Amino acid sequence: MTLPVIELREVSRRYDGGPPALHEVSLTVRPGEAVAIVGPSGSGKSTLLHLIAGLDRPDTGTVTVDGVRVDRLGESGSALYRRSKIGMVFQFFNLLDDLTVADNVALPARLAGMGRGEADRRTVELLETLGIDRHARSYPGRLSGGERQRVAVARALMNRPPLLLADEPTGALDTAAGQDVGKLLTELNAEGQTIVVVTHDLALARSCTNRAVRIADGRIAEDARTHAVAPETVR
């Protein structure tokens, strides 16, 4: 049996004074799955993503990603974990506006100690794969939202992470650009990339994932296998 990419066991997290943001959540994600995390605002989706990303720690329970006990990592361990095991994509892209597209994409590799030559080669390869190579020397500010999100995806994939995490990746995009990102995630998953995407966008959840986990009040209310359908047939 292959090792799960994500294994959460009875994870609880409560912020000061509030009700539990997550209550005894257990979740297993296997290699090659594409999982949508859906649910109303305030239900605990971002909390869940932050725990998986090692940006926060549970009060109780364990978080294991690709064999790493993320809930036990210290600061430097958690930085190393984020560089090597996960790639993250955000609603507002989080690109560095003072760096070119190519330098944004290469940055995670440079931070991980990859040599310039190798990082450049990998950058070119990713920009070509994602269809944004003509923008390599542009600054992100000159690109459309959809193009910026492609750059963010390229950056997230730079260090070949076993897990790609996305938090509302279409939240700042128009419908066409959102569909484009959905297609991109579908293609990456078809090549074997494990993906977890938090989204309000049901069309995205249905088009690019094969499993939907619905969170309500900090608990998993539903965990359903779905069949990915082509984006054109969804909207």
Ligand X SMILES: Nc1ncnc2c1ncn2[C@@H]1O[C@H](COP(=O)(O)OP(=O)(O)O)[C@@H](O)[C@H]1O
Q: Which amino acid is at 104?
A: N
44 or 162: CB nearest ligand X = 44
Which pairs with CB-CB distance under 8 Å and at least 24 residues apart come from 182-186?
Answer: 182/207, 182/208, 182/231, 183/207, 183/208, 183/231, 184/130, 184/150, 184/153, 185/34, 185/153, 185/209, 186/34, 186/228, 186/231
β partners of residue 36: 197, 212
Tell me the closest approach of the beta carbon of residue 218 to Mg ion, in angstroms: 13
Q: Select the binding partner of residue 21 from Mg ion, ligand X, none (C-beta < 5 to 8 A, by kind).
A: ligand X
Question: Are the C-beta atoms of 222 and 212 separated by less than 8 Å?
Answer: yes
Q: Select the binding partner of residue 15 from Mg ion, ligand X, none (C-beta < 5 to 8 A, by kind).
A: ligand X
Integer Cα distance of 48 and 146 in angstroms: 26
Provide the binding-site residues for Mg ion, judged by CB under 5 A: 46
Tell me the closest approach of the beta carbon of residue 15 to ligand X, in angstroms: 3
59 or 128: CB nearest ligand X = 59
Integer Cα distance of 21 and 15 in angstroms: 7
Q: Select the binding partner of residue 104 from Mg ion, ligand X, none (C-beta < 5 to 8 A, by kind).
A: none
Tell me the closest approach of the beta carbon of residue 63 to ligand X, in angstroms: 15
If you write DSSP's letter for every residue of 141-183 in order, what string do you get? GGS-HHHHHHHHHHHHHTT--SEEEEESTTTTS-HHHHHHHHH
Q: Select the binding partner of residue 43 from ligand X, Mg ion, none (C-beta < 5 to 8 A, by kind).
A: ligand X
44 or 231: CB nearest Mg ion = 44
47 or 193: CB nearest ligand X = 47
Q: Select the binding partner of residue 161 from Mg ion, ligand X, none (C-beta < 5 to 8 A, by kind).
A: none
Tell me the closest approach of the beta carbon of residue 213 to ligand X, in angstroms: 12
The string over 143-161, giving b where at least 16 C-beta atoms fall within 10 Å of a residue's C-beta and e elsewhere, is bebbbbbbbbbbbbbbbeb
Provide the binding-site residues for ligand X, judged by CB under 6 A: 15, 18, 21, 39, 41-47
Tell me the closest approach of the beta carbon of residue 202 to ligand X, in angstroms: 15
21 or 130: CB nearest Mg ion = 21
45 or 150: CB nearest ligand X = 45
